[in-house]
Structure 1
Amino acid sequence: MAEQLVFDLPPRAAMGREDFFVSPGNAAAVAGIDGWQGWPFGKMLLVGPEGAGKTHLVHVWADIVGARVIKARDLTDAAGETLARAPGVAVEDVDEIAGRGDVETALFHLHNALAQRGAPLLLTARAAPERWGLDLPDLDSRMRQAGVLRLAPPDDALLAAVMMKLALDREMPLKPRILSYALTRIERSFAAAQAFITALDAMALAAKRPPTRKMAKAILAEDKD
């Protein structure tokens, strides 16, 4: 029998407020997003590891404010001029633009234009600004003025909720016994949870059947090799 072709199609992520699981590790960040009107200098930095829910919270906030969302690496002066007229702006992965003078300058101009209008600015990164290594001193100083909301590494309850959400985004059934098995063996990180669900979905599609505990065992055994 010919092996089934597996197409790695991106899942449709559920980004609504009701889809975000609140836990002790992220409750303060959620409260800070809800209280956006009181941000110091009208800007806030959302910090956390990959897969921690930064993008999800960004879209929750953008829906509330009517804000525009852009990846920092895609910023240009022309894009910034358009964004500067929005009710608010969220710029994701700002820590990735260090050393890119044109992008740093575009973010600096966008920051100033929004501040002049009193429009809010939300930024995301994996670390605080002092670790970004920005070349533009004026941008660096303005980023350090922002308040900081931190998303902590997941506890078991949050990791389970994230894995269930990732499975639902892929329309993949995930039985409690598979989830329980994985939770006791997986690395305690959002990135590991995402990698596991992606691999499990691919294996289930290739086998033309729902995921099984045996598949989960095989995936987690490979991770230890």
Structure 2
Amino acid sequence: MQFTFKFIHKKEFTEENFIISYCNLEAYKAIKSFQTWPEYRMLILGPEGSGKSHLAKIFAKEAGGEFISYDDGELNLKAKAWILEDIEQFGDENQLFHKINLAKEHSISLLITAEFLPRYNLKDLQSRINATATVIIKRPDDGLLRALLMRHFSDRQLVVSSDVMEYIFTRTERSFEYIKRLVENIDKLSLEQKREITAPLVKKVLEKYMPENLADESE
């Protein structure tokens, strides 16, 4: 049996393409009920590849939101919502504090995302972050990881047999980022060697590119 994917290699950040599981259900519900956020703010925490950006794009469409960057000078104070991603990378604490305050003052719904809860030297900023309603995207379950594995292959128009899918799944780390990197490296090696995706090719990828999770030599 073969899985033949006909999608172009382009990520579609639509609500229809978002895979809902127990680990992200709370975050999904949060962005769908943004009108009820305390102080107009919500913080979503989750590792890289967990779908934070996908959720942010769903929220932007749902709420008519605008993505703002850390160095934005003039902001649209008439916007219905703002999205501020990856705040752990924000170096200027005063600027971040200012943006959070502006959103509250102008009743602008503010979605904030981060991989982890940052710790700030500016006490007032830390107080704002601590007071923000927070949802954590949990570690993925097997069902979601299988779906994501298929999604990453479909995004790249790759053909993978059910046996190879099972071979991959039983040898991979249970994390969002690992699945993403694994498919990228399988695609890379398959193109370089002009080979179809087989268990031996996957094993070589695991050994060459991802030694932290070596394939079982007995296979």
Relative to the length of structure 1, the TM-score reads: 0.83
Question: In the comparison of the two structures, how many residue pairs are matched?
Answer: 203
Mark the runs of 5 or more structure 2 residues left unpaired by the alignment.
1-8, 215-219
Structure 1 match to 2:82: 89
Of 34, 47, 52, the residue aligned with 2:32 is 34
Which structure 1 segments of 5+ residues have no match?
Answer: 1-10
**1:26-65 correspondence to structure 2 within 5 Å:** 26-65=24-63
1:22-64 Cα distance to aligned partner (Å, 9 max, x none)? 1111111111111111111110000111111111111111111
Q: Deviations over 1:151-210 (max 9, x none)?
A: 111111111111222222223233322221111110111111011010011112113344
| Counterpart residue identity of residue 36, structure 1 | F
The equivalent position to 1:219 in structure 2, one of 191, 205, 208, is: 205
Aligned to 2:152: 166
C-alpha RMSD over aligned residues? 1.7
Bigger share in helix:
1
Which aligned pairs between 1:44-193 and structure 2 lie closer than 5 A?
A: 44-70=42-68, 74-76=69-71, 78=73, 81-97=74-90, 100=91, 103-128=92-117, 132-193=118-179
Structure-2 residue corresponding to 1:5: none
**CA–CA separation in structure 1 for the residues paired with 2:190 and 2:101:** 50
Contact kept? 1:17, 1:60, Cα under 8 Å: yes
Q: Which amino acid aligns with 1:105?
A: N
| 1:169–1:84 CA distance, 2 compared to 1 (3 A) | farther
Change (3 A) 1:112 1:193: same
Alignment CA distance shift 1:104-1:174 (3 Å): farther
Calculate percent identity across the aligned residue pairs. Answer: 32
In the TM superposition, what is the alpha-carbon distance from 1:12 to its structure 2 partner? 2.4
Instruction: Give the letter aligned to residue 168 of structure 1.
Output: S
The secondary structure found in structure 2 opposite 1:121 is strand
Q: Which moved more, 1:112-121 or 1:205-214?
A: 205-214
> What letter corresponds to residue 127 of structure 1 in structure 2?
F
Q: Distance in 1 between matches of 2:67 and 2:157?
A: 26
C-alpha distance in 2, partners of 1:91/1:175?
A: 40
> Structure 1 56/174 Cα, relative in aligned 2: closer, same or farther at 3 Å?
farther
Q: What's the TM-score, normalizing by structure 2?
A: 0.86
Deviation larger for 53-62 or 134-143: 134-143
> CA offsets, 1:53-104, max 9 Å, x none?
111111111111111124xxx41251xx32444221111111122xx2xx32
